[in-house]
Structure 1
Amino acid sequence: MTAAVLYGKQDLRLEQVAVPRPRDGELLVRVKAALTCGTDLKVYRRGYHARMLKPPMRFGHELAGIVEEVGSGVTAFHKGDRVVALNSAPCDVCFFCTHGQQNLCEDLLFNNGAYAEFIRVPARIVEKNTLLVPDDVPFEHAALTEPLACVVRGLEESGAKAGDTMIVIGAGPIGLMFMHVAEIAGVHVIAVVKREDQIDAAKLFGASSVLQISSVDDVVAAARALTPQGRGADIVIEAVAIPATWEWAVDMVRKGGVVNFFGGPPSGTKVQLDTNRLHYGDITLKASFHHTPATCRTAFELVTSRRFKCADYITGRVGLEEVPAVFARMMNRSGSSREIKTAVFPAGVPE
């Protein structure tokens, strides 16, 4: 079969590899659609991910497909089932799992290889994080479940509730998902974006106000001016992952508010924060990483209920042979057109 294999920094190759065979408790899934992802782009740029993969390794982790073969002992799924298989599953026995933090599992099992004709799904993911996809849900929509599950957990961890004001810094796929899920939850959303093409996208996905950073001299002051009485947002989501935006986030939140550092900068990155403001402003700082089986199911319900604008996130459709070129292009986005996620169809782009 054909599969995309990451060898290092910006070194992604299509290769012919053996079709994996499912072992006990596993599934072999024929990939019908896989999606590009900001995490995959970050891994492509850096050449590795400390927890998810080390090259050379098959690439991609957002997918949905059809069960091709069932390993011994599997009873919940059968050949021909339409499924979305998440990219990880916790052990549920370690310290973190037993303390309600499955996303921090000491033995978090990851699975990669979505940009391929077939993918083997490990037994633990089959058991804990594989879901049946209704016939009326397109595969590329179902594949949105994984990133959306991370966003759902981030929103839950931030304590967002209807009527709150939230600033979202960044309008990449994750930032846009935060805007949309927050808007669905009745949160008033203010978007802080970089590129002109991101303005319309932010509005499409629920932002009532959009601030383009190049249009103002003081981004923090301009963002706070858009909040009630200029006091700052109840919640600020940082979804860019650079020191400047981490610092902006702290300055944009109100006293008693919550900042969620969702974007993950490289190891060793440092930021400078006003400790006086943090202490006397009673500001909560937190970060959210990954998802849990529960948030995966919440995200899946959003996708299958049609409340989430799945189709609007898919802005490109390509065959498997175009994957290396897609990632090379994502490294050099000009901002001239709105690109969010590209759907990869290993069997060819459907008409």
Structure 2
Amino acid sequence: MKTRALRLYGKQDLRLEEFELPPLRDDEILARVITDSVCMSTYKTVLQGSEHRRVPKDIANNPIIVGHECCGEILAVGKKWQAKYKVGGRFAIQPTLNYQGSPFGPGYSYRFVGGNATYVVIPNEVMEMDCLLNFKGDAYFKGSLAEPLSSIVAACKASYHTVEGSYRHEMGIKPKGNMIILNGSGPMGFLAVDYAIHAERKPELLVVTGTNEAKLSRARRYNSVKKAAEHGITLVYANTGQVGDVKKHLLELTAGQGYDDVFVYAPLKESAELGSALLGKDGCLNFFAGPTDKNFTAELNYYDIHYRNTHVVGTSGGYPEDMKEALALIEEGLINPATIVTHIGGLNSAKDTILNLPAIDGGKKLIYSGIDLELTPLSAFAELGKSQPFFGELQAILERNDDLWCAEAEAYLLRHAPAGLRERK
């Protein structure tokens, strides 16, 4: 079977190509990818090429398919896996395999599986590690957004606190504690707030910082202070671009106690150092955002480490159990990841979207692999709809759904994309 896929050959060398997939083996699965949400990790991968820790050294001759936040449909199942997976079933992939200690995973390391493709062959190790997961949600895009949510689930579980008078650690954020998300007005911050509201372990105070008032306003709309209060959380959105002494302002929100759990959502030296300064006694800092510079450093307060028992962790991705929790939250309608979607596009737009991701404003960008469509912000639908009925109908659907991308909009897109935009046969 032929596939059309975006492949990485070297640093910033992405090529959209059509090629033959290998014959399916008994321990593999053939699938069609419907959508992939573009992750900053993919941008970092493309920036580094084979110097990235999860990318093989021989990509110049054996290119890999990029994209790891994908969802689609199973088309054929090898004999080994027929008892567990069924043709026609929807799937999502947890890309952090940890297979035999290898850092490799789909979207970073494989020639024939990745999110930016029409058809893929899923190798045996993905199933062996229980990383091919069934998805029962009402829209493919929600399955693709389970992966970023799973990394938030993992980060919250990885934070820890000591049990006084012992050498034991209690894993997870501190229940009814003070929690802050620095640089949290982007799409991952959106999901983190939603997860904090619906997770079993909840903070009592949750502060989210940012400097972009438009992003913070969107956050207040979809994850409101009122909604958080209904779940026992005092939620504060702090525009740190509008205060003088940021550290003083944020500490005052805790009555000077500091924060039990600090999450740093941007790989910035000043953010890491601010996070260290905000920690309360036995506070845990999670450096969530991965830097591209292998020599990235920032100062920590070692007095607090020694006398106040502060500590630091870092997480990247998650485990299958985290992905399963994320999928369940989405399937049950407790978390709606549509709140972070701001753009849609086809496979033809994936290359430019990835290469220019930091410069494109907004939240998550969804790539639908089976169509050709320039990356389009949802906010442009109304104007485009004046001359193009296709976008006019999409705008009407959004207006019926709180201005959010939704299952109805996805279904319309997949059924009615104008001639020439639907999947090439």
TM bracket (short chain): 0.7 to 0.9
Question: Are residues 11 and 152 of structure 1, via their aligned partners in 2, closer, same or farther at CA, if it must alter by over 3 Å?
Answer: same
Q: Deviations over 1:179-237 (max 9, x none)?
A: 2211223323211113223212433346721222321222222221222x132111100
Q: Note if contact 1:37-1:173 (Cα within 8 Å) is conserved in structure 2.
A: no
Aligned counterparts, 1:231-242, within 5 A? 231-242=257-268
Aligned counterparts, 1:106-117, within 5 A? 106-112=101-107, 113-117=114-118
- State whether structure 2 residue 181 is matched by structure 1 residue 168: yes
Q: Deviations over 1:138-172 (max 9, x none)?
A: 11101122221111011012222442221101233
Distance 2:123 2:154 in 1: 23
Q: Note if contact 2:191-2:337 (Cα within 8 Å) is conserved in structure 1.
A: no
Distance 1:313 1:126 in 2: 29
Distance 1:90 1:116 in 2: 23
Q: Partner of 2:320 in structure 1?
A: 293
Q: CA deviation at 1:20?
A: 4.1
Aligned length: 332
Q: Note if contact 2:181-2:264 (Cα within 8 Å) is conserved in structure 1.
A: yes
Q: Partner of 1:17 in structure 2?
A: 19
Residue type matched to 1:133 in 2?
Answer: F
Structure 1 residue aligned with 2:10, among 5, 8, 11? Answer: 8
Q: Partner of 1:270 in structure 2?
A: 297
Distance 1:20 1:320 in 2: 21
Q: Note if contact 1:111-1:122 (Cα within 8 Å) is conserved in structure 2.
A: no
Distance 2:89 2:238 in 1: 45
Distance 2:66 2:223 in 1: 28
Q: Note if contact 1:239-1:262 (Cα within 8 Å) is conserved in structure 2.
A: yes
- State whether structure 2 residue 282 is matched by structure 1 residue 256: yes
Q: CA deviation at 1:109?
A: 4.3
Question: Are residues 212 and 27 of structure 1, via their aligned partners in 2, closer, same or farther at CA, if it must alter by over 3 Å?
Answer: same
Q: Partner of 1:317 in structure 2?
A: 344
Distance 2:30 2:176 in 1: 45
Q: Note if contact 2:94-2:320 (Cα within 8 Å) is conserved in structure 1.
A: no
Gaps of 5+ in 2: 108-113, 160-171, 226-234, 372-412, 417-425
Question: Are residues 47 and 223 of structure 1, via their aligned partners in 2, closer, same or farther at CA, if it must alter by over 3 Å?
Answer: farther
Q: Deviations over 1:123-149 (max 9, x none)?
A: 121241112222x52111011222211
Q: Note if contact 2:190-2:339 (Cα within 8 Å) is conserved in structure 1.
A: no
- State whether structure 2 residue 178 is matched by structure 1 residue 149: no
Say which SS state the counterpart of residue 155 (structure 1) adopts: helix
Distance 1:48 1:243 in 2: 25
Q: Note if contact 2:183-2:209 (Cα within 8 Å) is conserved in structure 1.
A: yes
Identity of aligned residues (%): 24
Question: Are residues 107 and 7 of structure 1, via their aligned partners in 2, closer, same or farther at CA, if it must alter by over 3 Å?
Answer: closer
Q: Partner of 2:67 in structure 1?
A: 60
- State whether structure 2 residue 74 is matched by structure 1 residue 72: no
Aligned counterparts, 1:32-181, within 5 A? 32-48=34-50, 50-54=52-56, 55=59, 56-75=63-82, 76-91=84-99, 106-112=101-107, 113-127=114-128, 128-134=130-136, 136-158=137-159, 159-171=172-184, 172-181=186-195
Distance 1:46 1:202 in 2: 32
Larger RCO (CA within 8 A; separation ≥ 6): 1
Distance 2:333 2:41 in 1: 25
CA RMSD of aligned residues (A): 2.1
Q: Deviations over 1:250-282 (max 9, x none)?
A: 111212211111112221111122211222222
Q: Deviations over 1:89-140 (max 9, x none)?
A: 234xx6xxxxxxxxxxx23441122101012211121241112222x52111
TM-score by length of 2: 0.73
Q: Deviations over 1:308-330 (max 9, x none)?
A: 12211222111111112222442
- State whether structure 2 residue 206 is matched by structure 1 residue 189: yes
Distance 1:292 1:51 in 2: 18
Which stretches of structure 1, 4 residues or longer, exceed 6 Å deviation after superposition?
none
Question: Are residues 163 and 301 of structure 1, via their aligned partners in 2, closer, same or farther at CA, if it must alter by over 3 Å?
Answer: same
Question: Are residues 247 and 232 of structure 1, via their aligned partners in 2, closer, same or farther at CA, if it must alter by over 3 Å?
Answer: same
Gaps of 5+ in 1: 95-105
Q: Partner of 1:212 in structure 2?
A: 239
Give the stretch that moved more between structures: 32-41 or 187-196: 187-196
Q: Partner of 1:103 in structure 2?
A: none
